[in-house]
Amino acid sequence: MRKKIKIVFIAIFFIGLCSFTIHKFYVSVTQINFVPEKKVIQITARFFIDDLNNALEKSHKTKFYLGSSKESAVQLEQFKKYISDNFSIKVNAKFKEIQFVKKEIEDDVFIIYLKVSNVSKVNSIEVKNTLLFDFITEQQNIIHTQVLNKKQSALLTPDNPNELLNY
């Protein structure tokens, strides 16, 4: 009898373990703030380093080492081009030039700082963010904005890579 109970318990335990699957979460978070005193839009974006390196490796057919001691200036320039090809912003229905400011690493997260200069007033911001969509079909890019004390957010996906936010 004990042997049967033990077998049933082990079977239930094994089935229970098999029913749980690991689901990786693919997300980036971008914060966009308008600073009227400086006439600038400040942008901070966060990505998981491994996802970013894998996406760049896929498109460039070479190993990438962003966020490591093996990172090269060439790879950083290729990353900046990837940003400009996949991230754009319109302010008041006009495309704006995005300037790369700097990058940081925090644990396994690659953080970039961008800015848009010479912005005196913001009535609307349209964001297009297709970063990592070419590599991860489950990727979601969350956008948070703050313009003149008004906060808005958007969820961008491969099916919906653009969002227009009015203020």
Return the pLDDT at 111: 96
Indicate yes or no: pTM above 0.85. no
Return the pLDDT at 19: 47
Tokens of 83: 């940003």
For 60, residues 6+ apart whose C-beta sits below 8 A from its C-beta are 78
pLDDT tens digits, residue range 84-111? 999 999 999 999 999 999 999 999 999 9
